[in-house]
Amino acid sequence: MPELNRREFIGTVAGGMAFAVAPGASLPTEALAPHPSAEAPARAAPLADPAFRPLPLGAIRPAGWLLRQLRIQADGLSGHLDEFWPDVAQSQWFGGSAEGWERAPYWLDGAIPLAWILDDAPMKERITKYVEHIVAHQRPDGWYAPYPEDAVAKRYDMWAILLANKALVQYHEVTGDARVLDAVTKSLRALLAGLDRTPLYDWGRFRWFEGLVPAFYVYERTGEPWLLELAGKLRAQGVDYEALYQTHDITLPTPRRGLWKWTKHVVNTGMATKAAALSWRLGGRPGDRAFGRGMIELLDRYHGQVTGMFTGDECLAGKNPLQGTELCAVVEFMYSLEHLYATFGDPWFADRLERIAYNALPATFSPDMWAHQYDQQVNQAQCGSNPDHQFTTNGAESNLFGLEPNYGCCTSNLHQGWPKFAAHLWLKTPDQGLAATAYAPCRAEFHSGDTPVTVAVETDYPFRETVRITVQPRAAAKFPLLLRVPAWTDGATVRIAGGAETPLPAGTLHRIERTWDRATTLDLRFPMRPVVLRGYNESVAVARGPLVYALRIGEQWTRVNADKPHREPPHADYEVTPTTAWNYGLVIDPQDPAASVRFEERPVGERPFSPDGAGMVAVASARKLPGWRLRNGWAAEISPADLAWTNRPPAPAEPLEEVQLIPYGCTNIRITEFPPAG
């Protein structure tokens, strides 16, 4: 690791913070200490306004391929988990005797937006029954029924309460049920007093900022000053991530089969990237604004992957494409990026959100979304029960596709990724307009002042480079439309109502302010040119637009764990093994990848993120590398020394071949970072 100057860490640069770590630093006690600004009781002052605000849940309806994807989700695990999996179906939160901590609230946190975005009547009916049970069984002291009566004497980790209230405020938003808002308010008041008796510890201490989401929600509807006192108390008792990220503890990869640590836990990390945004609203600290981006840049530097994620299986694990990333971290990082973009208005966060949503998120599910992985690998030649695995702390079944591979937390928490992404496609601006977060087919309805407006998006993006937006006001209205122009594009244009093309600078929010007096179309074009990304040990990966491309490998799905409970199809466990070669080196010109790889449009399938449903296919030249074999059940790591044999003149047994690359999110097994082979 290079020697770094501590002064670098605190210096700001345009667009973010220049991050570094003090040489020789260890994890000091102050890294887990309160924020300096939170040591005194918070005063009752208005919250800082975010750059943008989400539209009410349900105001954005999916269309096209996104509607199909959400429907697949509702027809899979997400829409049926509460019907057969005991930890949700028989949860103490719902009157049963099974787990009564995080799992049912996790499921509600994703199932509520999914059900209401799709207007899925059966799901809505069941969720309503569960929420009514929680509210009806709230105790007079404000604690929900699963909270133990003797919690003062026997500690109770408050994380589950923070999570439950975060889910319940979504239910209030879509139903307006005053009883639910009252229940959350009573719970937050109980929490305010309870934190004096039982300060945050363990999960609650590392996830304190999640409690700010419901606290801010209720404050903005009631104006009760004690809610800001609660927010300040949560911050004061929680981990100070800005101090933590000045240490080597974050930058060093966890050894394979190493030591599990709170500070390096990947889901805590994915969640904590939003801490700066939420903390900034509580006082407008400039350091929070800089740290919001700086934290992610540091993670990229030491643990980043081409998918936009960072490794963590289950702890931060470096840049090696064989190390896994936990599904919980994927959906939580997406939710954090939605907060960061809405709060700070920096399109950099939205670019990252798209990269993860269109790559890492779908790749960790089976195409029918009845099975998922605990850990996905960027280079994943096969998935199976592997006693020789080299994960940091996870187990042998961590990258099976199944009901609860390795551990059930992801089974309960996988549901929020797609629906919250859909709910944040457009955000409301302070001047009564809309700002684009990400591009996907949808229909958004909002009011600009008193005027109802519909904005419809027709596109097969990210598989295509064109997007058509139709703005339809009920009456003439003047308001801005902010169009996010991805940083990766070059030569982007917009054509309004069939007029001349206007160039759009990459990496910006392009503002169109006009009086919209009739249905007006905007035709966007974001040219997608292939690029070569340098990865671990000088490997190469191919990206085009927001999509990363990976080798298409033939698959054999074999059912396993048939003797385990609840593993009957469709929610069964499967190993996936290759039926075609995977050990290729890529022959590509990094300076001119378009001359080496051709892209072919295909119809976007009924299952958009599946090998057969891929809407774009790339054809590239490659050579088999006979020396590249499985090791420890994985595609062997390619070291710099190994690159010598990959670049030798090919023998007659290693002819040049054409191989197919498909979007990473469409793969189940894959090679994404290739050794260069000429």
pLDDT tens digits along 298-337: 999 999 999 999 999 999 999 999 999 999 999 999 999 9
Report which DSSP code applies to 487: T
Q: Which two tokens stand for residue 44?
A: 């009752």
Can you say how many angstroms the Cα of residue 653 is from the centroid of all Cα atoms in its chain?
Answer: 43
CB burial string 412-423: b at 16+ within 10 A, e below: bbbbbbbbbbbb
> What distance in Å separates the CA atoms of residue 116 and residue 334, rounded to the nearest whole number?
20
pLDDT tens digits along 493-536: 999 999 999 999 999 999 999 999 999 999 999 999 999 999 99
Helical (H) or strand (E) element with 510: strand 508-516
CA-based nearest residue to 430, from 484, 473, 377, 480: 480
Judged by average pLDDT, the poorest of 19-23, 79-83, 194-198, 525-529 is: 19-23
pLDDT at 28 over 60: no
Q: Which two tokens stand for residue 156?
A: 């109770």
- Tell me the average pLDDT across 345-371: 98
> What distance in Å separates the CA atoms of residue 307 and residue 318, rounded to the nearest whole number?
14
* pLDDT for the residue 648: 53
* pLDDT for the residue 114: 98
Average pLDDT, the chain: 91
Give the DSSP letter string of 100-130.
-SSHHHHHHHHHHHHHHHHT-HHHHHHHHHH
* pLDDT for the residue 34: 42
Percent of the chain scoring above 70 in pLDDT: 91
pLDDT category at 42 given cuts 50, 70, 90 is: very low
Q: Are 131 and 107 in contact (CB under 8 A)?
A: no
Q: Please say whether the dihedral angle defined by the alpha carbons of residues 31, 33, 38 and 39, taken in this order, is positive or negative.
A: negative
* pLDDT for the residue 23: 28
Q: Are 414 and 327 in contact (CB under 8 A)?
A: yes
* pLDDT for the residue 248: 86
pLDDT at 8 over 50: no
Longest dimension (CA), the chain: 80
pTM for this model (two decimals):
0.93
Comparing 23 with 115, the larger pLDDT belongs to 115
- Tell me the average pLDDT across 105-127: 98
Please state, in angstroms and as integers, the Cα–Cα distance from residue 595 to each residue in 158, 214, 542, following that order: 56, 52, 13
Q: Structural domains in the chain?
A: 76-238 (no CATH), 426-459+466-525 (2.60.40), 535-666 (no CATH)
pLDDT at 51 over 50: yes
Comparing 612 with 678, the larger pLDDT belongs to 612
pLDDT tens digits along 206-257: 999 999 999 999 999 999 999 999 999 999 999 999 999 999 889 999 999 9
pLDDT tens digits along 539-565: 999 999 999 999 999 999 999 999 999
How much of the chain is helix, strand and coil, in % rounded to 5? 35, 20, 40
pLDDT tens digits along 622-644: 999 999 999 999 999 987 666 55
- Tell me the average pLDDT across 438-453: 98
pLDDT tens digits along 179-188: 999 999 999 9
Report which DSSP code applies to 443: E
pLDDT category at 37 given cuts 50, 70, 90 is: very low
- Tell me the average pLDDT across 111-123: 98
pLDDT at 19 over 60: no
CA-based nearest residue to 205, from 262, 279, 287: 262
* pLDDT for the residue 640: 64
